[in-house]
Amino acid sequence: MHSEAALEIARKKYVSALRTTSKAVQSLDLVAEEPTLLASLVLDLFEKITNADSKHNGAWKSHVNGALALVRLRGLDQFQDSSALKVLVRLSTNFIITAIASGDPVPNELVTLRVYAGKQLHAVDPKWHLTDLMIHYANLRANILRGIISIDDYVRASLKLDSKLQSLSNEMPESWKYKTTILDHDSERVYERRFDSYTNRHVTQTWNVLRLIRILLNQSVLQYCLGSEESSISETVPLLIQTTSDIIIAMAREICASVPQYVECKGTASARHRPPSSPLIQEVPPSEEKSNNALGEPCHINSASRLLDIYTLIFSLYIVGGASTLTSFMKPWVITQLHFISEHYGIRNAELVARILEEGKEINPWSVYTLLGSYAFVA
C-alpha cells in the first residue's frame, strides 16, 4: 500500500496514461468517446490519492473539470445505456468530493448532469438523496469560506440542511435500517456495550457519511454560537448550543456502534451481518459469545472485500476522534480501534490516522479524507 517502488512505477504509468489521454482529447474521433472520459476519471483518482496536499491548486481539479468538459462536448443525451450512465454518476460523485475537499462550489452544470442521470436510472435510494444533500453542503461550505454569506445566514442554512439530513435518516426504507444489540458485558471492540448491524458496507457507509456530515455541520454551528457577539440569532444561542452538542454526541455514538460488525472477528458482532427483522434491540449475555463464533466470518480470512469494509470506517472514526472536543471522551476508544485495524488487518493508514489523533494535530478533516484516499472508496 505504501511501497515507494510501487509508487514510482505507478507515477511512470500515470505520466504515460496522461500523454495517451492528451492525444485522445486532440482527436475529434476519440475526444467524445466513453473510454476517454473513463481515462480522465482514473487519472483523477490517481491524482487525488498521490497528491492530497495539492488540493487547492488547479492540477488537483483539472481531471474532473476535463471530464465534465468531455460530457459537455458529447452531450448528455448521448449517455443512454446503463454503463454510460454509471460513468456520469461516478463523475458526479468525484466532482462533489473534489468540491468539498477544496472548498469550491458545485457548478450548476453538474446538478443538471445528476438530474439527467437520476431520471434515466430511476434513482430513488437513500444514497442518491444523500449525495444531492452533499451538493448543498459543498456549496454552503464554499459560501462561508469565501465570505459570500454572513455567519447568521450560514447558521440558518446549516440548521436547515441538518434538518433535511435528519429527515433522510427518519425515512430510510426497511432494508436500510440497522439492528441495535446491547451486550451485558464489556467488550474491547464494542463502545459502551452497543453495536449495530447493517445489511452491507454500502448501507453502513451511507449512514456514516450522513452522520459525519451532521457532526461537521453542527460543530461549525456550535463554534459560531460560542464565539458569536450580538446578532439576529443571539436569543436562540443557548438552545442551539445544547441541541448541536446533543446531535454531535449522538452521531458519534452511532458511528462507534457501526464499527464492531466489521472490525470484531471473534463473532460477537460479526455474526450479525444480516440483521433480523426483530427485535430492534437485543441483549446478548456472555454465554452466547462463543456459540456465535461459528456464524461469523473466520478471523484470519481477510478478503479484499472485507478489508474494504474495514477501510471505509477509518474516516468516520477520525471524525469521532478529532472533529469535536465534545467527543474527546470517545477518542481513546477510537485510537485503540485504529491501532487494532492497523495491527490485525495490516491497514497502515489506520495507524497514520491514530497518530494524528494522538498528536492532537488540528487538521482539516477533508485533508485527512484525501490522505486516506477515501475518495476511491465511495462507490
Condensed to tens digits (0 to 9), the pLDDT of residues 9-28 reads 655 554 555 555 555 555 44
Beta strand pairing call for 281-284 and 194-197? unpaired
Sheet of 281-284, strands arranged across: 194-197, 179-183, 281-284
pLDDT tens by residue, 110-161: 999 999 999 999 999 999 999 999 999 999 999 999 999 999 999 999 999 9
**Residue 21 falls within a domain, yes or no?**
yes
C-alpha distances out from residue 292 to 172, 184, 197, 244, Å:
29, 15, 14, 38
Task: Calculate the average pLDDT of the chain.
Answer: 82
The span from the CA of 329 to the CA of 323, in Å, is 12
Q: Among candidates 98, 108, 91, 29, which has minimal Cα distance to 59? A: 98
**Residue 298 falls within a domain, yes or no?**
no
How confident is the model at residue 182, as a pLDDT? 97
Instruction: Answer yes or no: is pLDDT of 174 > 90.
Output: yes
The span from the CA of 367 to the CA of 379, in Å, is 20
How confident is the model at residue 227, as a pLDDT? 80
**Residue 14 falls within a domain, yes or no?**
yes
Beta bridge partners of 194: 182
How confident is the model at residue 366, as a pLDDT? 87
Distance of CA 96 to the CA centre of its chain: 12
pLDDT tens by residue, 311-356: 999 999 999 999 888 999 999 999 999 999 999 999 999 999 999 9
> Mean pLDDT across the stretch 274-295?
38
**Residue 79 falls within a domain, yes or no?**
yes
**Residue 208 falls within a domain, yes or no?**
no
**Residue 27 falls within a domain, yes or no?**
yes
**Residue 156 falls within a domain, yes or no?**
no
**pLDDT grade, residue 280 (50/70/90)?**
very low
Q: What is the 3-state secondary structure (H, E, C) of the chain?
A: CCCHHHHHHHHHHHHHHHHHHHHHHCCCCCCCCHHHHHHHHHHHHHHHHHCHHHCCCHHHHHHHHHHHHHHHHHCHHHCCCHHHHHHHHHHHHHHHHHHHHHCCCCCHHHHHHHHHHHHHHCCCCHHHHHHHHHHHHHHHHHHHHCCCCCHHHHHHHHHHHHHHHHHHHHCCCHHHCCEEEEECCCECCEHHHEEEECCCHHHHHHHHHHHHHHHHHHHHHHHHHHHCCCCCCHHHHHHHHHHHHHHHHHHHHHHHHHCHHHHCCCCCCHHHCCCCCCCCEEEECCHHHHHHHHHCCCCCCCCHHHHHHHHCCHHHHHHHHHCCHHHHHHHHHHHHHHHHHHHHHCCHHHHHHHHHHHHCCCCCHHHHHHHHCHHHHCC
Beta bridge partners of 30: none
Amino acid 280 reads L
**Residue 43 falls within a domain, yes or no?**
yes
How confident is the model at residue 100, as a pLDDT? 92
Q: Among candidates 274, 278, 266, 245, which has minimal Cα distance to 190? A: 266
The total of structural domains in the chain comes to 1
**pLDDT grade, residue 69 (50/70/90)?**
confident
Q: What is the model's pTM?
A: 0.83
Q: Among candidates 205, 193, 190, which has minimal Cα distance to 333? A: 190
Instruction: Please give the residue range of the domain that contains residue 50.
Output: 1-92
Q: Among candidates 211, 122, 115, 232, which has minimal Cα distance to 165? A: 211
